[in-house]
Amino acid sequence: MGEKLKIAIQKSGRLNEKSLELLKECGIKLSGGNGKLKAEAKNFPAEVLFLRDDDIPQYVEQGVADVGILGENEVWERKKNILTVEKLGFAGCRMSLAIPKDEEYTGLSFFNGKKIATSYPAILSDFFVGNGIRVEIEEISGSVEIAPGIGLADAIFDIVSTGSTLLMNGLKEVKVVAESEAVLISGRELGEAKKSILDRLVFRIKAVLRASENKYITLNAPLSAVPEITALLPGMKSPTIVPLAEEGWCGIHSVVKEDEFWDIIDRMKELGAEGILVIPIEKMVL
Ligand code: ATP
Ligand code: MG
Identify whether residues 59 and 186 lie together within a single domain: yes
Instruction: Give 116-137 pLDDT, tens digit per residue.
Output: 999 999 999 999 999 999 999 9
- pLDDT at 173 (0 to 100): 98
Query: What's the CA gap between 113 and 109, in Å, rounded?
Result: 9
Residue 1 pLDDT greater than 70, yes or no: no
Q: Which ligand is nearest to the CA of 74?
A: 1
Identify whether residues 173 and 186 lie together within a single domain: no
Atom of ligand 1 lying closest to residue 161 CA: 27
How does residue 262 score in pLDDT terms, banded at 50, 70 and 90?
confident
Instruction: Give 26-47 pLDDT, tens digit per residue.
Output: 999 998 766 689 999 999 999 9
Number of domains in the chain: 3
- On whether residue 251 sits in a domain, the answer given is yes
Mean pLDDT of 222-230: 93
Identify whether residues 270 and 224 lie together within a single domain: yes
Residue whose Cα lies nearest atom 20 of ligand 1: it is 71
Domain of residue 76 covers: 5-91+181-190
> Pocket around ligand 1: residues whose beta carbon is below 6 Å from it?
10, 13-15, 52-54, 71, 73-74, 91, 93, 159, 161, 180
Identify whether residues 77 and 185 lie together within a single domain: yes
